[in-house]
Structure 1
Amino acid sequence: MESPKTIVPGTVWYDTDGNPINAHGGGIMYHDGVYYWYGEYKGDSTYYRDDICVGWRAEAGGVSCYSSTDLENWKFEGVVLLSEPDDVHSDLHPSQIIERPKVIYNDKTKKFVMWMHIDDPNYEKAHTGIAVSDSPTGLFTYLGSFKPNGGDSRDQTIFKDDDGRAYHIYSSEWNKTLYIGLLNNDYTQHTGVYTRNFIDQYREAPAVFKHKGKYYIISSGCTGWDSNTAQCAVADSMLGEWKVIGNPCIGEDAEKTYYAQSTYVLPIGGKKGLIIAMFDRWNKTDLDDSRYVWLPLTFRDGKPVIEWKDEWVLAE
């Protein structure tokens, strides 16, 4: 009998080759029995620039991919969206920003579609980038970037619903408002149908999931690399009215989200209906050494609850 898989949040996690996993601000796609973890592949040298708003930077190394069948042992599949160091004008040049990549599969086109935040070092470009591939392990072909619905787009995620419709969720209006936009049938553009949510509330790092017919968004405040209080909201539909229901984190350091920031929520299912809340614990002076904090998400009195655990078992 196979032993239960153990998750230890906040420690260095290694891939099957013994190297630290380099997949920050990422998300996980489940396809044909395999989990694929995509994230920011950060350069191993962090530096400070006093001429940009965030200050601490690491070279953008493209988007990495790791695969697993058990969510514990991760094989490095390589950098599946390559940076372009020879083209200083490219969105993918290492001097630029490539953040929060997420991938979904299009059942009609048979394409894997990646959405990401594309920016300049001062976060003034505020574009969304798109890439596609015939395989979950790439290589992905970059299609370019744009401002969705004519406005800026920074922290973002995408969500594919049970009916095959997909949505882009992104911080806009200089992070003051969170937009939710319906994507077209091939998931590579917006349809022009969108809603403005949490107006003037300054929310970023959105993570979206569905549970028993309800839709949930977990997000953070806007404090750069520093931690703050998470917020959860619920709605009856993605384009419907969202109701804020408070901080899902409880216990010690809950007001600091356990010194981490939301990036993705992964419903596993199984007998116990396991849901994993994924966070990044940013290390702003050594961004490559930022750690991963995964915790079980449960429901109490109909609301999502996340509680710190030094270690926990992946029991489906």
Structure 2
Amino acid sequence: MDSDGNQINAHEGWILQIEDTYLWYGTSHKTLTADPATGSSDWLSGSINLFVSRDLASWRRKPAVFSAAGITASTAPAAVAASRRLRAAVKGAGPYRIERPKVLYNSGHRYYVLLFHLDSIDMGLAQLGWAVSPSPYGPFVFQAASQPDGLGSLDLSVAAAGDSADAYLVRSVPGGSLAISKLSPDYLGTQGVCGSLHQHQHQQQPHPAAAAAAAHAAATGMASEDMQGAAAAAGVQGSRVGGTAPSLFAFNGRWYLLVSRGSGWSPGPLQLFVSNGSDPCGASWSPIKHAAAGPGSGSGFDSSPAFALPYRFGGPGRDGAADGCSQSSCLPIYFGDRWNQQGPGSVGNASYVWLPFVPAAGSADPSALQLLNPGGPWKISDYRQPAPSL
């Protein structure tokens, strides 16, 4: 609940720390919405909300920072206008999916950039939306939508690299891989795929990413093999569907990539990968065994990853920074959405789970982390690791 006693709706979100204040961005309450142009329906949010806190416990609601109504005919994605099937939606304000909002500060241009998954209800667009604001409190003004590096963009996350200006985008792409790209200096584009992770689909049912790729191909007239070819040309190989809801974060000089094996609104096991170096571009990724422990670990604690926050014990730092976030100074915290698809109120009554990443039990590898459910209330201070002895 927020400071007024109301339910917090900040789903699939992101926390940005500015000095001693935490800003929690996330999508608003989801309602079952139908698209009259296509007949499709799904759970959609109409805006991106903002809540602020000094302690990660008490949250005060601020005005919404972005509305889907800001995506009008003049700023609608080019792929929409090119699609006869979706042309009716361009004449109005959607309905559009706005999902997985992430916010970064660009010090070179002195503005804040909002990135989010922008799509149609039937997942036929597979694009990334960009909006900017001079203030972290918004409002953010829609700039454009695109398929970064010429690839369909589905679930996404971002991360900043230390005190440099480098920032990265990770997203699921057609063809079944997760692609990593360095953002352009203005954070309003990408500079090509610089890394990827390929996984294998173990489920029998089609994964939502595969359905999205097929829908996009149908909407744009692009054959599925052409979509695969575009992915291969961009440096993303693989033909099997990977995980969903990726979350990229840096800790102790390494990069970590968390994904879910869930499908749609349903939860699934979590998988955690660690890079072989301090740069996600060109890195090799190794899976961490037993990446989750405690009650509910087999189903991802009944949740889907929103993001991971490297919480700093010693004070504020640049969000997602790779530099200075060590085992003794930071605690990575998992933020997940419990979509409640089968529960009362379904997705419209979703909630959250926050859990700590700790050194993996029984592992001699110092880079091995494990997401732990203690089985009850927990305190951040309980998981501060001692500084290594010299």
Same fold (TM over 0.5): yes
Could you say which structure has the larger radius of gyration? 2
C-alpha separation between the residues in 1 aligned to 2:346 and 2:93? 20
1:33 match = 20
C-alpha separation between the residues in 2 aligned to 1:298 and 1:94? 42
**Residues 296-305 or 255-264, more deviating:** 296-305
1:46 match = 32
Deviation at 1:137, TM superposition (A): 0.6
2:324 match = none
> Where does 1:1-316 land on structure 2 (aligned, <5 Å)?
14-43=1-30, 45-46=31-32, 52=40, 56-58=42-44, 60-84=45-69, 87=72, 90=76, 93=93, 95-162=95-162, 163-173=164-174, 176-198=176-198, 199=238, 200-235=240-275, 236=277, 237-239=279-281, 240-270=283-313, 273-284=330-341, 286-300=346-360, 301=363, 302=366, 303-308=368-373, 309-315=375-381
1:6 match = none
5+ residue gaps, structure 2, are 78-91, 199-237, 315-327, 385-390
Q: Check the 8 A contact 1:22/1:288 in 2, yes or no.
A: no
C-alpha separation between the residues in 2 aligned to 1:87 and 1:143? 11
Deviation at 1:85, TM superposition (A): 7.9
- Structure ranking higher in helix proportion: 2
Deviation at 1:242, TM superposition (A): 1.3
Deviation at 1:267, TM superposition (A): 1.0
5+ residue gaps, structure 1, are 1-13
Cα deviation per residue 1:189-215 (whole Å; 9 max; x = unaligned)? 111243232142421101111111010
Q: Check the 8 A contact 2:20/2:54 in 1, yes or no.
A: yes
- Structure ranking higher in strand proportion: 1
C-alpha separation between the residues in 2 aligned to 1:82 and 1:207? 24
C-alpha separation between the residues in 1 aligned to 2:106 and 2:70? 30
Q: Check the 8 A contact 1:233/1:246 in 2, yes or no.
A: no
What TM-score, normalized by structure 2, do the two folds share? 0.71
C-alpha separation between the residues in 2 aligned to 1:202 and 1:222? 10
Percent identity of the aligned residues?
A: 27
C-alpha separation between the residues in 1 aligned to 2:196 and 2:332? 27
Deviation at 1:238, TM superposition (A): 0.7
SS in 1 for 2:295: coil
1:5 match = none
C-alpha separation between the residues in 2 aligned to 1:103 and 1:143? 14
Q: Check the 8 A contact 1:169/1:178 in 2, yes or no.
A: yes
Deviation at 1:88, TM superposition (A): 7.1
Q: Check the 8 A contact 2:32/2:43 in 1, yes or no.
A: yes
Deviation at 1:274, TM superposition (A): 2.3
**Residues 83-92 or 220-229, more deviating:** 83-92
The alignment of Structure 1 onto Structure 2 pairs a total of residues equal to 298
What TM-score, normalized by structure 1, do the two folds share? 0.87
Q: Check the 8 A contact 1:85/1:94 in 2, yes or no.
A: no
Q: Check the 8 A contact 1:261/1:281 in 2, yes or no.
A: yes
Instruction: Tell me: CA distance 1:247–1:95, structure 2 relative to 1, closer, same or farther (3 Å).
Output: farther
The one-letter amino acid of 2:310's match is P
Q: Check the 8 A contact 2:69/2:94 in 1, yes or no.
A: yes
The one-letter amino acid of 1:266's match is L
